[in-house]
């Protein structure tokens, strides 16, 4: 039996693990907006996937998406669109002409992320007309789109507030629990292998540098703990590591920071989690948060803000430690609590791995998504019959 033919529309870049997972279950083709100065897929896929690049401008790309779906309607069975912006509107409009089901994949609360620019500018400034457009397209797509896939209950609430009706909670791309697994070596050996400091607790922060990720609160907390005489190191991996180093210099903690570009998540990232004593997710807003889940899969303890989708996975006293958004004093206290109680930290981390294996395992979530696609394509064929 042939696999469903899926067209994946990528407006703002996507993760290679999502691409490879989709390619493992579908005959996949990608239509991606050209990202000037960036990449459409985070890393080169290990499988061959046809990719058609469209214009860099969002309006031009939306028009391109509409034409591509119409042009390729005989080559595809279903359309998956990342986000609910202009390209999603184009895909939804195409349904009336191409007759193909469309799923909107929602990985983040876009409006909430955008509002973070108001108080914490970093890069492009907040503009009111752009906020209005985001709100307009979120509601217009909810009226037009019959199917949504979201990563968390929090995101389900977000899209239902727009007016969405059929919403499926499937956290793709999930976590590869065989790759992200407890270490087989002592952490001291892994630190030496990765040339990381061994004289003190090593804390991992892997979020991108953006207003919604709040690296500033983490840096203030580290400064507080260093002033109290605690020996700590902070490891950061992301494409924005240079900005992170500049911020670390401003908070006078740069001598305790190791920051580099992102590493390949399919090969090197798990070693970082396994080597670190603690992972911190400091988000001001979060759709789900895969970094804490990957850390827990490696049985590395996690501290996270009590916000958004993080509240569903990082539970105080059960799977980690939590603190209020922006509260650097509470975060410092939670870091000290976690590194001072290794037995309790490991208990919570083990419970966390059980959670990840039961709800977020990569094979499980892609099977759930494949089942949804089968139902939708069968429904479409039945309607035509």
pTM assigned to the model = 0.94
- Take residue 31 and report the two structure tokens written for it: 């239509």
* Region at 334 (left for phi over 0; alpha for psi -120 to 50; beta for the rest): alpha
Please report the pLDDT score of residue 379 as a whole number: 60
- The CA dihedral of 4, 105, 297, 364, to the nearest 10 degrees, is -30
Q: Which residue has the tokens 């955008």?
A: 114
Q: Using CB atoms within 10 Å of the CB of residue 53, give its burial: 0 to 12 exposed, 13 to 18 middle, 19+ buried.
A: middle
Give the count of beta carbons closer than 10 Å to the beta carbon of residue 49: 16
Identify the H or E element spanning 149: strand 147-150
pLDDT of residue 146: 80
As given in the structure block, the two tokens for residue 162 are 């727009």
CB environment 82-118: b (16+ within 10 A), e (fewer): bbbbbbbbbbbbbbeebebbbbbbbbbbbbbbbbbbe
Can you read off the two tokens belonging to residue 230? 């605690």
Domains of the chain: 5-174+362-384 (3.40.50.2000), 187-359 (3.40.50.2000)
Residue in this structure with the two tokens 């206290």, named with its chain if needed: 333
Cα separation, 353 vs 361, whole angstroms:
10
Q: What is the pLDDT along the chain (385 residues), one digit of tens a residue?
A: 689 999 999 999 999 999 999 999 999 999 999 998 889 999 999 999 999 999 999 999 999 999 999 999 999 999 999 999 999 999 999 998 999 999 999 999 999 999 999 888 776 788 888 899 999 999 999 988 789 999 999 999 999 999 999 999 999 999 999 999 999 999 999 999 999 999 999 999 989 999 999 999 999 999 999 999 999 999 999 999 999 999 999 999 999 999 999 999 999 999 999 999 999 999 999 999 999 999 999 999 999 999 999 999 999 999 999 999 999 999 999 999 999 999 999 999 999 999 999 999 999 999 999 999 999 998 655 554 4
Which is nearest to 375 in space by CA: 106, 146, 173? 146
């Amino acid at each position: 039996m042939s696999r469903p033919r899926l067209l994946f529309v990528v407006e703002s870049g996507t993760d290679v693990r999502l691409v490879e997972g989709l390619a493992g279950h579908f005959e996949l083709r990608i239509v991606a907006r050209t990202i000037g100065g960036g990449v459409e897929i985070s890393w080169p896929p290990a499988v061959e996937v046809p990719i058609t690049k469209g214009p860099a401008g969002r309006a031009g790309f939306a028009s391109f998406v509409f034409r591509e779906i119409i042009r390729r309607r005989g080559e595809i069975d279903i359309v998956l669109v990342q986000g609910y912006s202009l390209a999603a509107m184009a895909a939804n409009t195409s349904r009336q002409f191409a007759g193909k089901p469309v799923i909107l994949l929602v990985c983040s609360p876009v409006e909430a992320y955008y509002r973070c620019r108001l108080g914490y500018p970093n890069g492009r400034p907040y503009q009111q007309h752009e906020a209005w457009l985001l709100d307009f397209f979120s509601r217009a797509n909810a009226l037009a789109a019959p199917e949504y896939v979201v990563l968390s209950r929090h995101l389900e609430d977000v899209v239902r507030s727009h007016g969405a009706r059929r919403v499926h909670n499937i956290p793709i791309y999930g976590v590869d629990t065989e790759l992200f697994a407890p270490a087989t070596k002592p952490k001291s050996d892994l630190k030496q292998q990765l040339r990381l400091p061994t004289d003190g607790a090593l804390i991992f922060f892997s979020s991108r540098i953006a207003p919604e990720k709040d690296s500033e609160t983490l840096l203030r907390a580290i400064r507080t703990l260093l002033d109290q005489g605690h020996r700590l190191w902070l490891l950061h991996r992301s494409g924005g590591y240079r900005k992170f180093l500049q911020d670390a210099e401003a908070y006078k903690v740069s001598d305790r920071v190791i920051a580099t570009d992102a590493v390949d998540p399919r090969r090197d990232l798990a070693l970082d989690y396994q080597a670190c004593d603690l992972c911190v997710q400091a988000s001001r807003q979060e759709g789900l948060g895969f970094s804490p889940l990957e850390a827990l899969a490696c049985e590395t303890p996690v501290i996270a803000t009590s916000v958004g989708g993080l509240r569903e996975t990082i539970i105080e006293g059960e799977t980690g430690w939590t603190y209020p958004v922006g509260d650097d004093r509470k975060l410092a206290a939670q870091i000290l609590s976690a590194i001072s109680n290794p037995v309790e930290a490991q208990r919570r981390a083990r419970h966390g791995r059980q959670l990840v294996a039961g709800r977020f395992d990569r094979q499980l979530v892609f099977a759930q998504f494949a089942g949804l696609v089968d139902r939708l394509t069968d429904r479409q064929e039945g309607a035509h019959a």
